[in-house]
């Protein structure tokens, strides 16, 4: 049964140039290196010298020899040209160092060792992961409607994992954002104190703390705000009504006050008083007909007798009429 072994050194400080040692002398070792940092791979334990070594990996389905050591006819240490400017092998302790690590350095490696006669001594596999460390997390809090507190913890880096404690007690029921860049927890009304968010990955671990005070329920605040809005609306409506009352009513017929006069209008009673006026044309032969005036109109009376009505002086009213009508 193959042993799985991984050595990880987590540093609290986050910066480029972090150094990570990893012992890969056992088969199936897994190592994690910081992106842009330095990784030390302990390939062999030196007892009586370094045997022949071949460290290779696959690239595009073809084996690529990263490190090769030959002792005969003379000692040769050869590093692949893709990393030769940022890698070094230490003969005295059997450690392979890679500086300024890149994501392409993540791969499964195979280490073969040989004796002086070229006979195989053993084969081991190791897995190297190069990841970005998590950054210092940022905390933000928000009071909700019923006094709850929503707290978010955000961090950058590869594969962040979040954990929460309140006064040292673990908290559950968290919510993660897509990509796990932000983790959120909701505290109940009675939960307050020293809240700590811890963010970690395979490279490092960082914590941040904040004192959380109880939030007042904002229902009253919302109600007060609504009351203020209603009051403003009522005032605006009142001003509108006052202004509207000051405006003259619209009428379909425009009457100019200068075009109005009062006229004395005489009206006739329904039952006009009749007065008789007798004209006897039999006594006036060839004489002219006798006209008489009724309300400004000349009437010629023919016949023996006419009854006409005349309005009384007191039967009159006043009415508004237009000039010229």
Last residue of a domain, one of 212, 239, 268: 212
**Integer Cα distance of 293 and 180 in angstroms:** 113
Provide mean pLDDT across the span 160-174: 93
Give residue 185's domain range: 138-212
Last residue of a domain, one of 131, 159, 181: 131
Element housing 246 (H / E): helix 219-246
120 and 37 inside one domain? yes
pLDDT band of residue 69 (cuts 50, 70, 90) is very high
231 is a domain residue: no
Sheet of 169-171, strands arranged across:
169-171, 161-166, 193-200, 205-212
8 is a domain residue: no
**Integer Cα distance of 14 and 16 in angstroms:** 7
Q: What is the CA radius of gyration of the chain?
A: 56
Task: Among 27-36, 86-95, 149-158, 232-241, name the one with the lowest average pLDDT.
Answer: 232-241
Q: For 38-59, what is each residue's pLDDT tens digit?
A: 999 999 988 778 899 999 997 6
Q: What is the pLDDT of residue 176?
A: 86
154 is a domain residue: yes
What are the φ and ψ backbone dihedral angles of 226, each rounded to 5 degrees? -65, -40
- In order of 145, 168, 169, 196, the CA distances from 193 in angstroms are 20, 10, 11, 10
248 is a domain residue: no
105 and 150 inside one domain? no
83 and 28 inside one domain? yes
**Integer Cα distance of 65 and 57 in angstroms:** 6
Nearest to 213 by CA among 236, 237, 240, 195: 195
264 is a domain residue: yes
């Amino acid at each position: 049964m193959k042993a799985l072994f991984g050595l990880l050194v987590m540093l609290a400080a986050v910066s480029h140039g972090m150094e990570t040692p990893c012992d890969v002398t056992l088969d199936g070792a897994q190592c994690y290196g910081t992106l842009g940092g330095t990784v030390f791979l302990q390939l062999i334990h030196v007892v009586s010298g370094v045997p022949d070594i071949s460290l290779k990996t696959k690239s595009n389905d073809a084996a690529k020899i990263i490190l090769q050591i030959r002792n005969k006819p003379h000692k040769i240490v050869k590093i692949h040209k893709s990393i030769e400017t940022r890698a070094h092998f230490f003969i005295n302790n059997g450690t392979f160092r890679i500086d300024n690590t890149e994501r392409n350095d993540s791969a499964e490696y195979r280490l073969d060792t040989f004796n002086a006669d070229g006979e195989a001594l053993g084969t081991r596999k190791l897995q190297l992961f190069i990841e970005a460390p998590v950054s210092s997390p940022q905390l933000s809090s928000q009071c909700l409607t019923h006094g709850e507190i929503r707290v978010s913890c955000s961090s950058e880096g590869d594969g962040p994992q979040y954990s929460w404690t309140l006064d040292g007690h673990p908290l559950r029921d968290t919510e993660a954002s897509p990509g796990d860049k932000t983790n959120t927890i909701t505290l109940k009304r009675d939960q307050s104190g020293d809240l700590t968010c811890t963010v970690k990955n395979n490279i490092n671990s960082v914590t941040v703390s904040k004192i959380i005070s109880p939030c007042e329920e904002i229902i009253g605040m919302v109600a007060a705000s609504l009351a203020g809005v209603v009051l403003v609306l009522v005032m605006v409506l009142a001003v509108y009504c006052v202004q509207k009352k000051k405006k003259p009513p619209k009428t379909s017929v425009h009457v100019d006050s200068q075009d109005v006069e009062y006229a004395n209008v005489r009206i006739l009673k329904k039952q006009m008083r009749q007065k008789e006026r007798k004209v006897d044309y039999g006594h006036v032969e060839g004489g002219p007909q006798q006209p008489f005036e009724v309300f400004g109109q000349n009437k010629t009376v023919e016949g023996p007798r006419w009854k006409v009505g005349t309005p009384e002086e007191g039967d009159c009213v006043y009415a508004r009429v237009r000039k010229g009508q």
